[in-house]
């Protein structure tokens, strides 16, 4: 009768060879640290030879490497080994250098050297590979020194590994020193050196090195060209990419599928979609990698429908392909399509990864749809991304942009780990919601704010009229934190002075800046002049803006309105004729509202909605009730030559008013109404929303171009300063 044994118990036989086999099998079957520790106990109890015991303990260490929280245990076993055989040590170094935590190979080396560990020339390539993958330059240089001390440095395999370590660590001059001293340079070493130049942006050196390579009687192969083309695609270096394409053609190099894919990916990465498409059409078999590159290329070029056409042709889509298409929609003006794709991807059995979720969260933030945001958060929890720092940072931004500041606070509050992006995102969230005091409080709690943090906190000061605080913060950024102001900081300060009607100081700052003002800065000054009626200075700013961007619709609209204010209708006509001649259209105002997981969009005087009759009937009712509490349409904002009644009609049919009425019709009583407006909310609509929040006892949240307005009980969170 056979005796059954548990794989982690003592075997019934005492024969040494059988014991060794049994314990080795138990190690290979172990899936957790406690199981390995059981086997470890059995190894210590058995009367095994030093060689058998040592090899089993090495197997134990190797099996523990992939397990969580096993490093200290593995090191403790390693430190007990007496004179371990070098080939086993090298096997350990190889496994560790290929693992997810290559830095552990360096820890084992450090531990072993303290206990007299001996290494040979075969130890160095995996150790240098580990230093390269872990970007551990200091440790890599120490290994280099050890190799010199032991006399192994002339070994070509060690030299190649050294070359890769220095190149990958960005030490391109040190890599070149190693390269020049090599007695034997095969195609692999040339490829590593060329890749090093590419990754460090030294593309002129790439061409020089190619010439050196050919003069050394080593012909570049498809691998070398693939390396260069990949770098060109990533950096947008079209000029070098075309040179390489010509070299391939001139030298009659057979373009295998990998090289063809690299050419297509290079052109797609550089935005030359016509050339990429021509090469793509020539492919007899279109692999997933190159199709995904085409999707990304079209998406970045703003041709998302062309990207989707290629996406639809792919039969077996992988996660990268799905993510590329979702990202394309997220970065375009169609974020809702990206969210739909997420549902399709999950239905097809493909699970999103962190990169996918970041694209989806970004799409939801752009859309501003709160119900969708909450659903996305549930998916984040479902796939256990709850502890991922980048995902949490993105969730803060998403909730802030969807008007749900409490949601952003909740995510921030439960985060175990926070970085400067976390603090800056939360500071920015408070800023765009008009909570300047909270933004300043968070800023003061930060230990090491970066330049983006200062943009967020200066923005908060600007939108709350905190001029003195803004000046102090700007000064501390320069004097205490030693951060050189960028255009973004100057833009915030110009906006700060401008909104506070300190236009002279704003102009003085613009004129004293150490760099030329950009479109944003002139635009901020122009907008401030519009708010405070300083049209002559505004005209000056608008003309400076048009010198930088001759097709800026906002500047033309400002000039048209400026001339209309002065009833200079001839000048108005000239501006509009110029806009027509240049094909410049004023951006049309629109508003969106989410109802029942669907986004409803309204234009001014829009009657295209299927419930238009009900919406307009509701609008009449709302206007009537608001007039009873003092509302009167502010027709002064209408700057076209029509009579007063027509002006009233224009004002009353603004898109956010239609969206509000639809919200009142379709949402449950007492629930908040969230509206997204693509332009700055006008004075009349701002007053309209305040009164509506009081009369209908509803919180109304409007996200306009620059900030959020929370209307409650007849007042707004912006305190009428926006």
- Alpha-carbon torsion, ordered 689, 695, 700, 706, to 10 deg: 20
Q: Which two tokens stand for residue 618?
A: 């509701």
The Cα 696–Cα 487 span in angstroms is 44
Residue 160: is its pLDDT beyond 60?
yes
600: which strand partners? 593
Nearest to 674 by CA among 618, 591, 593: 593
For residue 664, what is the DSSP state? H
The Cα 675–Cα 700 span in angstroms is 8
The pLDDT-based confidence of 5 (bands split at 50, 70, 90) is very low
Nearest to 516 by CA among 490, 539, 481: 490
Q: How many residues does the chain have?
A: 722
Check if the beta carbon of residue 338 is closer than 8 Å to that of residue 360: yes
The Cα 243–Cα 250 span in angstroms is 10
Kindly report, residue by residue over 162-175, the tens digit of the pLDDT: 999 999 888 999 99
Nearest to 131 by CA among 159, 156, 96: 96
674: which strand partners? 701
Kindly report, residue by residue over 565-601, the tens digit of the pLDDT: 778 888 888 999 999 988 988 888 999 999 877 899 9
CATH class of 485-586: mainly alpha
591: which strand partners? 602, 677
Nearest to 523 by CA among 544, 508, 493: 544
Min mean pLDDT across 1-10, 326-335, 692-701 is at 1-10
The Cα 523–Cα 528 span in angstroms is 9
DSSP string over 586-608:
PPPPEEEEEETTEEEEEETT---
Tally of CA atoms within 13 A in the half-sphere of 80 that contains its CB: 16
Query: What pLDDT, on the 0 to 100 scale, is given for residue 54?
Result: 62
What is the reported pTM? 0.72
The Cα 659–Cα 594 span in angstroms is 10
Kindly report, residue by residue over 631-660, the tens digit of the pLDDT: 999 988 776 666 777 888 889 999 999 999
Query: What pLDDT, on the 0 to 100 scale, is given for residue 522?
Result: 95
Q: Could you count the other beta carbons within 10 Å of the beta carbon of residue 134?
A: 20
The domain locations on the chain are 485-586, 591-716
- Please, is 169 exposed, middle or buried when counting C-beta atoms within 10 Å of its C-beta (0-12, 13-18, 19+)? buried
């Amino acid at each position: 009768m056979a005796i059954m044994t548990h794989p982690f118990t003592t075997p019934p036989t005492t024969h040494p060879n059988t014991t060794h086999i049994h314990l080795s099998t138990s190690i290979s079957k172990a899936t957790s640290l406690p199981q390995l520790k059981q086997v470890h106990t059995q190894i210590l109890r058995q009367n095994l030879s030093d060689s058998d015991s040592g090899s089993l303990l090495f197997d134990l260490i190797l099996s523990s490497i992939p397990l969580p929280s096993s490093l200290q245990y593995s090191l403790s076993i390693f430190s007990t080994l007496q004179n371990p055989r070098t080939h086993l040590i090298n096997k350990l170094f190889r496994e560790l250098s290929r693992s997810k935590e290559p830095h552990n190979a360096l820890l084992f080396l450090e531990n072993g050297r303290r206990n007299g560990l001996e290494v040979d020339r075969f130890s160095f390539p995996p150790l240098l590979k580990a230093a390269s993958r872990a970007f551990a330059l200091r440790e890599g240089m120490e290994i280099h020194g050890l190799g010199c001390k032991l006399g192994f440095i002339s070994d070509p395999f060690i030299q190649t590994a050294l070359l890769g370590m220095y190149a990958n660590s960005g030490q391109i001059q040190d890599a070149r020193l190693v390269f020049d001293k090599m007695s034997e340079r095969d195609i692999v070493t040339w490829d590593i050196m060329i890749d090093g130049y590419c990754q460090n942006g030294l593309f002129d050196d790439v061409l020089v090195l190619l010439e050196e390579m050919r003069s050394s009687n080593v012909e570049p192969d498809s691998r070398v060209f693939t390396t260069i083309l990949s770098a060109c695609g990533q950096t947008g270096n079209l000029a070098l990419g075309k040179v390489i394409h010509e070299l391939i053609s001139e030298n009659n190099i057979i373009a295998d599928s990998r090289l063809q894919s690299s050419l297509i990916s290079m052109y797609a990465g550089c935005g030359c979609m016509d050339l990429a498409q021509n090469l793509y059409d020539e492919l007899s078999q279109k692999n997933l990698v190159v199709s995904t590159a085409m999707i990304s290329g079209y998406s970045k070029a703003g041709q998302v429908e062309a990207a989707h056409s290629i996406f639809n042709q792919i039969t077996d889509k992988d996660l990268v392909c799905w993510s590329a298409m979702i990202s394309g929609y997220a970065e375009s003006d169609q974020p809702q399509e990206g969210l739909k794709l997420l549902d399709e991807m999950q239905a097809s059995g493909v699970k999103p990864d962190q990169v996918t979720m970041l694209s989806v969260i970004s799409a939801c933030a752009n859309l501003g749809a709160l119900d969708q945001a909450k659903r996305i958060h549930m998916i984040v929890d479902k796939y256990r991304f709850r502890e991922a720092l980048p995902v949490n940072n993105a969730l803060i931004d998403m909730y802030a942009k969807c008007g749900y500041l409490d949601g952003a606070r909740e995510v921030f509050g439960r985060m175990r780990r926070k970085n400067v992006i976390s603090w800056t995102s939360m500071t920015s969230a408070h800023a765009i919601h008009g909570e300047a005091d909270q933004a300043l409080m968070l800023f003061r709690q930060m230990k090491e704010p970066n330049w983006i943090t200062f943009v967020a906190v200066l923005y908060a000061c600007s939108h709350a009229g905190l001029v003195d605080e803004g000046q102090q913060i700007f000064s501390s950024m320069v004097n205490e934190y030693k951060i050189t102001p960028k255009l973004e900081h100057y833009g915030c300060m110009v906006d700060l002075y401008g909104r506070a009607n300190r236009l002279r100081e704003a102009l003085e700052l613009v004129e004293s800046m150490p760099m030329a003002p950009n479109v944003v800065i002139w635009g901020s000054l122009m907008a401030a002049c519009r708010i405070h009626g300083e049209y002559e200075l505004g005209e000056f700013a608008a003309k400076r803006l048009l010198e930088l961007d001759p097709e800026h619709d906002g500047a033309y609209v400002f000039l048209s309105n400026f001339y209309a204010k002065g009833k200079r209708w001839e000048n108005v006509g000239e501006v509009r004729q110029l806009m027509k001649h240049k094909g410049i259209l004023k951006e049309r105002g629109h508003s969106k509202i989410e109802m029942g997981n669907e986004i409803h969009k309204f234009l001014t005087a829009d009657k295209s909605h299927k419930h238009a009759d009900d919406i307009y009937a509701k609008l009449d009712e709302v206007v009537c009730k608001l007039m009873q509490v003092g509302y009167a349409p502010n027709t002064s904002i209408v700057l076209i030559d029509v009579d007063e009644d027509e002006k009233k009609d224009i004002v009353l049919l603004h898109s956010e008013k239609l969206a509000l009425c639809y919200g009142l019709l379709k949402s449950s009583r007492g629930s908040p109404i969230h509206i997204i407006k693509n332009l700055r909310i006008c004075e009349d609509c701002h007053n309209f929303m305040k009164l509506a929040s009081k009369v209908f006892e509803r919180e109304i949240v409007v996200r306009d171009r620059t900030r959020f307005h929370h209307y409650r009980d007849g007042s707004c969170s912006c305190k009428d300063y926006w």
